[in-house]
Amino acid sequence: MNKFYQKDIISIKDFDKEQLEEIFSFTDKIMRMDSTERREISKGKTLAYLFYEPSTRTRLSFDSAIASIGGNSLGISDISSSSTQKGESLADTVKIMSIYSDVLVLRHPLDGSSRFAAEVSSKPVINAGSGTEEHPTQAIQDLFTIKKEKKMIDGLKIGIVGDLKYGRTVYSLLHGLGNYDVDVHLISPESLRIRTDSTYEIKKRLSFSESTDIEEHIDELDVLYVTRIQKERFPDEEEYLKVKGSYIVGMDLLKKMKDDAIVLHPLPRLDEISTDIDSTKNAKYFDQAEYGKYTRAALLGLTLNQDGF
Ligand code: NCD
């Protein structure tokens, strides 16, 4: 039996290097298949999504991923039109949605929400973003992008810039990178430094330096992972305004980078990457979004099929 079958995907911490590499091979396999062959993978299976926070890519890439492997999707992306408005609990909503589906994809503003949902759901739960804590499928997509575009992960120098305090993709990515031999350089305003309580474990497996200056190691980086300042998670708008626009990756900065360095971003982008970068060979964030469809199709195919595919 394939080891991912019927397993929840709650945290990237639950995946070791061997498992990540296995998911990458299945993703490559999906990318090589033609559409008819792909549609046989999870024919007739239903994915239910339940999104308590806005999303474009994550939800649509799950939609598109399940359709590409022959399944279908249903769900709630606008919570104001659901029974949550009448006071229904997360537990009851999850129980109901798991009756109508084979796998449930949840995005919720609270840390721990997906783990809680997995406890009450009769079907596997995939965490599509839980509070400021985790976004494991994004990390799998990010690692896959690095591997595809740089042909390796071990040995790379990776800069992560932006909102390192509230950006959940950063925490999942750091835990994922902990499986590899990489040098990580974290760049953020002082008030948005990485949370020490959440990096205690990562520090045992990953060495990283911290700085407020994006130029400090810019010429050494192989990958620059840019993140959005998470306005919606600031308790005080004044604090957001102080850090808004702290880093803008533009042509001037790109010129200081290695010729073959890549720029990634989980998206949505606001002003942190200027649009003139988009047409350069270094900009890989739209490719990253496309890889997300294939990594999610691989994850779904493995979760839904006892013998893999
Ligand atoms: C991210 C998220 O929701 O954490 N978006 C995404 O899923 N690609 C990043 C963000 O919102 O800034």
What pLDDT, in 10s, does the model give residues 91-120?
A: 999 999 999 999 999 999 999 999 999 999
Give the residue, by CA position, lying nearest to ligand 1 atom 7.
Answer: 58
What's the Cα-to-Cα distance from 44 to each of 30, 70, 304, rounded to whole Å? 18, 6, 11
Count other Cβ atoms within 10 Å, centred on residue 39: 15
Structural tokens at position 216: 């400090």
What residues does ligand 1 touch, defined as CB less than 6 Å away? 57-58, 129, 135, 138, 168-169, 228, 266-268
Q: What pLDDT is stored for residue 86 in this prediction?
A: 81
Take atom 1 of ligand 1 and give the residue whose Cα is closest.
266
Q: Is 86 a catalytic residue?
A: yes
The tokens of 50 are what?
């339940």
Q: Are 227 and 271 in contact (CB under 8 A)?
A: no
Residues 156/176, Cβ–Cβ less than 8 Å: no
Pocket test of ligand 1: the residue of 49, 57, 58, 188 to mutate, having most ligand atoms within 8 Å of its CB, is 58
Task: Name the pTM for this structure.
Answer: 0.97
Q: How do residues 257-286 score in pLDDT, each as one tens digit?
A: 999 999 999 999 999 999 999 999 999 999
Closest atom of ligand 1 to CA, residue 53 = 3
pLDDT (0 to 100) of residue 108:
96
CA-CA distance, 129 to 113, in Å (whole number)? 9
- Which atom of ligand 1 has the smallest separation from the CA of 128? 7
Answer whether the bond into residue 136 is a cis peptide, omega within 30°: no
Alpha-carbon distance of 3 to 23, in angstroms, equals 11
Annotated catalytic residue 227: no
Q: Which atom of ligand 1 lies nearest, measured to the CA of 228?
A: 12
User: Helices 168-177 and 136-150 meet at what angle, rounded to 10?
Assistant: 60
Q: Of residues 38, 45, 46, 58, which has the active-site annotation?
A: 58
Instruction: Name the catalytic one among 57, 168, 228, 265.
Output: 57
Give pLDDT, residue 250: 98
**CB of 111 closer than 8 Å to CB of 132:** yes
Intervals of the chain under pLDDT 50? none
Ligand 1 atom closest to Cα of residue 230: 12
Sole residue written with tokens 């390796």: 152
The two structure tokens encoding residue 302: 């493995």
Q: Is 135 a catalytic residue?
A: yes
Give the per-residue pLDDT at 277: 98
Domains of the chain (ranges plus CATH)?
12-134+292-304 (3.40.50.1370), 136-289 (3.40.50.1370)
DSSP element (H, E) containing 173? helix 168-177
Predicted confidence at residue 198, as pLDDT, reads 87
